[in-house]
Amino acid sequence: MGATTYLFSALMPDDAREIERGLRQRDPDLLDRLIEQYQYRLYRYLLFLTANRETAEDLFQETWVRVLDRGHQYNGKAKFETWLFSIARHLVIDALRRRRPESLDELMDPAEGQEGRPAREFAAGEPGPAELFAQGEEGERVAAALGELPSAHREVLLLRFQEDLGLEEIAGVAAAPLSTVKSRLYRGLEQLRGLLEEPRP
Amino acid sequence: MNAMNPMKEDIHGRAKRLIAAERVEGIAASDREWLSGHLAACARCAALSASTENALRSLRTLPIRLSPTLADRARMRVSLRAGELRQERARAWALWISCSLSWVLGVGSAPLVWRACEWLGQEARLPDIVWQAGFALWWLAPVAAVAAFLAAHKRRAARMNDGMAP
């Protein structure tokens, strides 16, 4: 599914100016194409942040409604996905604020020295990260390791190493200073590596 | 125990920092060259580099399960919302057209209404200020009503969009 989406994405004209014009006009065909093109990446981002399939799916739909509502605010200067992820992130924060205000701290500014603390803001009743993300033993192991990271660290790892966003773009999405983004990346990478190195039970 | 002197610790520490920095933000060519030479000579740092690369490879290749109906459900929501927005826009147009017509009629009829108010004031032996205030009220009441309506509408929209930044 992902590979197909990426292929489709590579074939599509991804002109930010064209998207800007289409969003301003609320062009339904453009929105359809954008949903198709970005569905995998947006859902993955939301899943990384929320660690909850149902919430990620709700927020996925809500994000596209917001894209429709706020399309005129996209100026075409930044990459569309950066703007899209920013919207999604704000929706996650809103959802956290409604459900568990205390867990906001972890997404906004994970406390130093709390590495390895599980971040499952929405995860009550969920089958666990392995069920959410992956198939196969290796996938389950990686998913379990990710589940142990604070969500802010998961977020920057995804944006840097799966989305290939630049550090400034990540700072824009995460609404955090560049130094914070780097610090989260270094810590997250170190934590992930450590967790994956642990002997299998 | 494999004791190391402080200089060697510094070398390994530098290698460890560069291994991460290379992936996170990139490193200078001279640092890359140094790191490459060090990794060729140090099995421990080479293993660290390999495990970092493995962790990233695992992360990059981690699949997720995407519901096949997710995009369609999103399209449906977007389509419903687009319908709502169209209705809102049509209502807003109707309101603006009504306001414009009302304003044109108001301006057009103002001299007549002024005379009517004056005649009524004289018939009722009212002070000038009273019938003039009546005229002003007649002229301003629709504007005030529309302004109040628009303000309420704006407040409602703001509540609905609360937290919708950016």
What is the greatest pairwise CA distance in chain B? 114
Task: State how far the Cα of A131 lies from the Cα of A133, in Å rounded to an integer.
Answer: 6
**Is A189 within 8 Å of B62 when comparing Cβ atoms?**
no
- A94 → closest Cβ in B65, B74, B163: B163
Residue given tokens 């389509």 in the structure block: B79
The pLDDT mean for chain B works out to: 85
Q: Which of residues 84-113 of B touch A (CB under 8 A)?
A: 85
Q: DSSP string spanning A91-138?
A: HHHHHHHHH-GGGHHHHHSPPTT-TT----TT-TT---HHHHH--SHH
pLDDT digits (tens, 9 = 90+) for A72-97: 999 888 889 999 999 999 999 888 88
pLDDT, greater one: B152 or A184:
A184
Give the pLDDT score at A132: 59
Higher local confidence (pLDDT), A15 or A78: A78
What residue has token string 């060729």?
A: B40
The model's pTM: 0.72
Chain A: nearest CA to B27, how far in angstroms? 14
φ, ψ for residue B4, nearest 5 deg = -125, 150
Cβ-defined contact of A193 to B161 (cutoff 8 Å): no
Residue A118 pLDDT exceeds 50: no
pLDDT for residue A106? 60
Nearest-CA distance B96 → chain A (Å): 21
Q: Do A196 and B51 touch (CB under 8 A)?
A: yes
Report whether A179 contacts A193 (CB < 8 A): no
- Distance from C-alpha of B81 to C-alpha of B87, rounded to nearest angstrom: 10
Q: Is the pLDDT of residue A110 over 80?
A: no
Reported as a pLDDT band with limits 50, 70 and 90, residue B66 is confident
pLDDT tens sequence across B104-133: 888 888 888 889 988 999 898 889 899 889
Using CA atoms, how far apart are residues B166 and B161, in angstroms rounded to an integer?
Answer: 11
Closest-CA residue in chain A for B73?
Answer: A61
The residue of chain A with its CA nearest to that of B85 is A69
Per-residue pLDDT for A125 more than 50? no
